């Protein structure tokens, strides 16, 4: 499989409040690279979000803005590129929200959600949260809600699903964004 797994963390409930992003590049079923950046949002932090991911306004004081980060990573979000996330609807909405907020062109890519694949393939699980699925599959998740650790876990979940079940049941859940 060839894909990019990604994850955002946000400063608050606003879709343009991304405060960190990570990408994990997978080529031929191997992790071949990763990218992580804090992002300085143009909005305030909600205490609940800080509690979840541990990123504070002080942490992003010197961080690049979303347009600066997007300049570095936009080549990964191409029309026929598979972009994977655990709860992809959230991450895709954050990406779309950031692009719209900063007046940047929409991204078009293929999207696959490992929450959806996990619901389909692991019906016996009590829930399909990232930490639950990771634990069930024996995939390390050291710092849940750290964008890079979450992206690595997501990539490993999808690779393990493809190895166990093949790509056919996964392809059925791919959406065009």
Dihedral over alpha carbons 30, 81, 35, 97 (to 10 degrees): -150
> With pLDDT > 70 as the criterion, what percentage of the chain qualifies?
100
The mean pLDDT of 27-49, rounded to a whole number, is 97
* Average pLDDT score, the chain: 97
pTM attached to this predicted model: 0.96
> Domains of the chain: which residue ranges?
3-176
The reported pLDDT for the residue numbered 56 is 98
22 phi, psi to nearest 5 deg = -140, 150
Residue 90 has pLDDT above 90, yes or no: yes
- Residue 61 corresponds to which tokens in the numbers above? 């004081």
pLDDT category at 79 given cuts 50, 70, 90 is confident
CA 33 to CA 12: how far, in whole Å?
A: 29
Look at residue 113 in the predicted model and tell me its pLDDT: 98
Structural fold of domain 3-176: Nucleotidyltransferase; domain 5 (3.30.420)
- For 105-158, the pLDDT digits (tens) are 999 999 999 999 999 999 999 999 999 999 999 999 989 999 999 999 999 999
């Amino acid at each position: 499989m060839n894909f990019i797994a990604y994850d955002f963390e946000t400063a608050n409930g606003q879709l343009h409040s991304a405060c960190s992003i990570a990408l994990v590049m997978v080529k031929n079923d191997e992790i071949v690279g990763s990218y992580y950046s804090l992002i300085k949002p143009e909005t305030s932090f909600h205490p609940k979000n800080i509690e979840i991911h541990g990123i504070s306004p002080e942490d992003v004081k010197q961080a690049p803005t979303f347009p600066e980060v997007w300049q570095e990573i936009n080549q990964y979000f191409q029309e026929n590129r598979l972009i994977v996330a655990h709860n992809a609807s959230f991450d895709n909405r954050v990406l779309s929200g950031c692009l719209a907020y900063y007046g940047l062109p929409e991204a078009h890519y293929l999207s696959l959600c490992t929450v959806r694949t996990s619901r389909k393939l692991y019906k016996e699980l009590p829930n399909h949260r990232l930490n639950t699925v990771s634990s069930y599959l024996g995939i390390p998740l050291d710092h849940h809600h750290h964008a890079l650790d979450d992206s690595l876990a997501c990539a490993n979940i999808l690779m393990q699903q493809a190895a166990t079940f093949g790509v056919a049941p996964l392809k059925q859940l791919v959406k065009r964004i």
